[in-house]
Amino acid sequence: MAVPAARLEDYVAAIFRAAGSAAGEAGLIAHHLVASNLAGHDSHGVGLVRGYLAAVARGDLRLNHRLAVMRDSGSVLVCDGGNGAGAAMASAAMDLGIARTRREGAAIVALRDSYHIGRIGAWAEQCAAAGLVSIHFVNVPAHAAVAAFGGTKARLGTNPFAAGFPCGEGEPVIVDFATSRWAVGKVQVARRANKRVPPGILLDAEGRETDDPAALFAAPPGALLPFGEHKGFGLALACEMLAGALLGAETQRGEPSPAITNSMLSVILDPGALGGEAAYAERRDALLAWVTSERGEGKEIMLPGEPERMRRARLLGEGLALDAGTRAELAEAAASVGVDAASHLGDCA
């Protein structure tokens, strides 16, 4: 049975409040997770709740932690997440960056060592909603899952990249992808649903191609492949350098941890401070019209961010159909902190 998004969000927020999170933070976490499900990225959705609570118990995720500004150099802000809740840390960092970009015309925002910041497109969307262009490079230093191009052993994280472009009164263009062929969470979703993965995604511990999602989590583990062969590997390495080494944050060292730590380097730009608002709008609109011109010939061409918006609109009406494994894990997480699933989900429990 499908669960209405608002009811699911209230349920997840109640779980985090019961775990000790302040109401505002619990709401941010729940909203970010459910929004990922609505966008079609179940790998970054409510299936993470049980893992987040385990991280709280281990001390890897610090609830109610406040973002700290470690360096303020005008257009450059260096923030430390201190393993705080990623939805709160990244949102606060983007708020600071947006305000600084409006003052300076551009800002570079470094967010070091936050707990999992989730779907990176959300932070590009936050900037685009403010009328600003943004570029985001992210690393995942605690858990290597992706082989180097030409290799067979996990050496890098899925290291996502995102960019957002506001489109006036229209919907923004949001580019958002992992530098691996699949995200780790997507493999986890397949394993939970007892599904196989397509060819060319995953290697087992012996370096052989496999369609078994469990291979990634075995002991010893398998490895995901980078997208686009050397191109994805190069971008993943650039993300590790930009979001990790350049910021003085954690980088991959071959020391695995169950924690999901992220650092992010964001470049936020005001179109009015560069080519000018009018020129940006004119050239942007002409470009997008040209790129999508074959739509008039019946071709199904979608701009980055459109599939997520279409899915979100549909699921807000239909509700979210969670698989049995995700439902069970959510119920287990809720019970562990004294929250009753039925009292929040009713007939949908």
Question: For position 257, what pLDDT does the model report?
Answer: 80
Asked whether residue 96 carries a pLDDT value surpassing 90, the answer given is yes
Question: For position 324, what pLDDT does the model report?
Answer: 87
35 shares its domain with 119: no
Confidence category of residue 276, pLDDT binned at 50, 70, 90:
very high
85 shares its domain with 150: yes
Q: Could you tell me if residue 194 is inside a domain? A: no
Phi, psi of 73 (to 5 degrees): -120, 50
283 shares its domain with 347: no
Contact present, 146 and 223 (Cβ < 8 Å): yes
| CA gap 138, 61 in Å, rounded | 18
Per-residue pLDDT, averaged over 198-224, amounts to 96
CB 282: neighbour CB atoms within 10 A? 12
State what percent of residues in the chain have pLDDT above 90.
Answer: 90
| CA gap 121, 27 in Å, rounded | 19
State what percent of residues in the chain have pLDDT above 70.
Answer: 100
Confidence category of residue 259, pLDDT binned at 50, 70, 90:
confident
DSSP 148: P
Q: Could you tell me if residue 190 is inside a domain? A: no
- Closest to 165 (Cα-Cα) out of 152, 157, 174: 174
Phi, psi of 93 (to 5 degrees): -65, -40
DSSP 65: P
CATH code for the domain in which residue 158 is found = 3.30.1370.60
Q: Could you tell me if residue 311 is inside a domain? A: no
Asked whether residue 189 carries a pLDDT value surpassing 90, the answer given is no
Q: Could you tell me if residue 102 is inside a domain? A: yes
48 shares its domain with 156: no
pTM of this prediction exceeds 0.85: yes
Report the number of distinct structural domains present in the chain. 3
149 shares its domain with 78: yes
Q: Could you tell me if residue 212 is inside a domain? A: no
154 shares its domain with 258: yes
Domain that holds residue 155: 67-167+176-180+226-274
152 shares its domain with 292: no
Distances (CA, A) of 273 to 124, 129, 269: 19, 17, 8
Instruction: Give residue-wise pLDDT tens across range 16-71.
Output: 999 999 999 999 999 999 999 999 999 899 999 999 999 999 999 999 999 999 99
| CA gap 90, 87 in Å, rounded | 6
Confidence category of residue 182, pLDDT binned at 50, 70, 90:
very high
Q: Could you tell me if residue 324 is inside a domain? A: yes
CATH code for the domain in which residue 6 is found = 1.10.1530.10
115 shares its domain with 261: yes
82 shares its domain with 150: yes
Q: Which strand ranges, in their side-by-side order, compose the sheet holding 154-156?
A: 154-156, 146-147, 223-224, 202-203, 209-210
SS3 string, 228-241, reads CCHHHHHHHHHHHH
Q: Which tokens belong to 244? A: 């990790």
Question: For position 243, what pLDDT does the model report?
Answer: 98
Question: For position 342, what pLDDT does the model report?
Answer: 87
Phi, psi of 206 (to 5 degrees): -90, 5
121 shares its domain with 252: yes
Calculate Rg over the CA atoms of the chain.
20
Q: Could you tell me if residue 154 is inside a domain? A: yes
287 shares its domain with 155: no
153 shares its domain with 235: yes
| CA gap 4, 17 in Å, rounded | 20
| CA gap 327, 54 in Å, rounded | 17
Q: Could you tell me if residue 153 is inside a domain? A: yes
- The sign of the CA dihedral 110, 117, 181, 307 is negative
- Closest to 75 (Cα-Cα) out of 54, 53, 59, 99: 99
Instruction: Give residue-wise pLDDT tens across range 111-149.
Output: 999 999 999 999 999 999 999 999 999 999 988 999 999
Question: For position 67, what pLDDT does the model report?
Answer: 98
Strands 106-115 and 76-80: parallel
